[in-house]
């Protein structure tokens, strides 16, 4: 999988190490994470804080380079657990969640990197800040979190060409001087890399289908 990511980067005229692979291990057991670690994979993504809590802390001592990204919709009452567990929280998408994360950072004395999730298709059922509110929310988060705010994340609509949505997110990140662009999953990571993704979140294509 990392070879496919590097090849897509090369086709886009980008450096082979320009794009990092986040292996999405949700629903797969800790053994699957261990097998990936053994192959040199260090970045992992989990949707649910509770599931991450059962798998990852035990693996940390033996794998200090491992990094955990929280990538699924986060309830405010899980913010403190997320701040304690995660290295990156990719789903900051509303003021109340930003409040909860700020409070958790204070209490835990620990600051994960943060990404603002944008609802690039403005789909009613999806999480993410609406596109019309994105600039203001990103500015507010930068004021509040400073350098901990490192980038943007999106999940484009399932139907249609994701390319324009990826391009929109890349332009938004550039406007705000944010370096990290988490976009692209099993079905569309090559298109995301063509538009500047720095992180792709791939589950099925690495671990197989989720039961
Ligand atoms: C599950 C998930 C992925 C991985 O999806 P695949 O299609 O299995 O690669 C990526 N990002 C998010 C936010 C997810 O929830």
Closest atom of ligand 1 to CA, residue 206: 9
d(CA 38, CA 36): 5
- What separation in Å is there between the alpha carbon of 20 and the centre of ligand 1? 15
Kindly report, residue by residue over 64-107, the tens digit of the pLDDT: 999 999 999 999 999 999 999 999 999 999 999 999 999 999 99
- Among 20, 25, 36, 45, say which to mutate for ligand 1: greatest number of ligand atoms within 8 Å of CB: 45
Going by C-alpha positions, the residue among 16, 64, 19, 25 that lies closest to residue 44 is 25
For residue 165, what pLDDT is reported? 98
Quote the strand ranges of the chain, DSSP E: 20-24, 43-46, 67-70, 88-92, 113-119, 129-130, 149-154, 180-182, 199-202
Q: Which residues make Cβ contacts (< 8 Å) with residue 57, sequence separation at least 6?
A: 85
For residue 209, what pLDDT is reported? 86
Q: Contact at 8 Å (CB) between 69 and 46?
A: yes
- What separation in Å is there between the alpha carbon of 11 and the centre of ligand 1? 23
For residue 211, what pLDDT is reported? 67
- What separation in Å is there between the alpha carbon of 99 and the centre of ligand 1? 26
User: In which residue ranges of the chain is pLDDT below 50?
Assistant: none
Residue 128, judged by CB atoms within 10 A of its CB (0-12, 13-18, 19+), counts as buried
Please tell me the pTM assigned to this model: 0.97
- What separation in Å is there between the alpha carbon of 91 and the centre of ligand 1? 13
List pocket residues of ligand 1, CB cut-off 6 Å. 24, 26, 47, 71-72, 155, 185-187, 201-205
For residue 157, what pLDDT is reported? 97
Residue 84, judged by CB atoms within 10 A of its CB (0-12, 13-18, 19+), counts as middle
Kindly report, residue by residue over 47-73, the tens digit of the pLDDT: 999 999 999 999 999 999 999 999 999
Domain ranges of the chain: 2-207
Class of domain 2-207: alpha beta
């Amino acid at each position: 999988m990392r070879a496919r990511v590097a090849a897509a980067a090369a086709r886009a005229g980008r450096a082979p190490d320009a794009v990092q692979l986040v292996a999405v291990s949700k629903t797969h057991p800790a053994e699957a994470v261990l097998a990936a670690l053994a192959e040199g994979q260090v970045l992992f993504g989990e949707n649910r804080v509770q599931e991450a809590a059962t798998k990852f802390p035990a693996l940390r001592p033996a794998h200090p380079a491992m990094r955990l990204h929280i990538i699924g919709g986060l309830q405010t009452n899980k913010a403190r657990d997320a701040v304690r567990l995660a290295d990156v929280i990719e789903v900051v998408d509303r003021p109340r969640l930003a409040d909860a994360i700020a409070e958790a950072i204070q209490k835990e004395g620990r600051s994960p990197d943060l990404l603002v999730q944008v609802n690039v298709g403005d789909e009613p059922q999806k999480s993410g800040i609406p596109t019309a509110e994105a600039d203001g929310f990103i500015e507010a988060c930068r004021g509040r979190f400073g350098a901990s705010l490192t980038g943007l994340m999106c999940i484009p609509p399932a139907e249609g060409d994701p390319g324009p949505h990826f391009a929109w997110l890349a332009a938004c990140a550039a406007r705000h001087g944010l370096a990290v662009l988490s976009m692209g999953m099993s079905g569309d990571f090559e298109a995301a890399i063509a538009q500047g993704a720095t992180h792709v979140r791939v589950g099925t294509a690495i671990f197989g289908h989720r039961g």
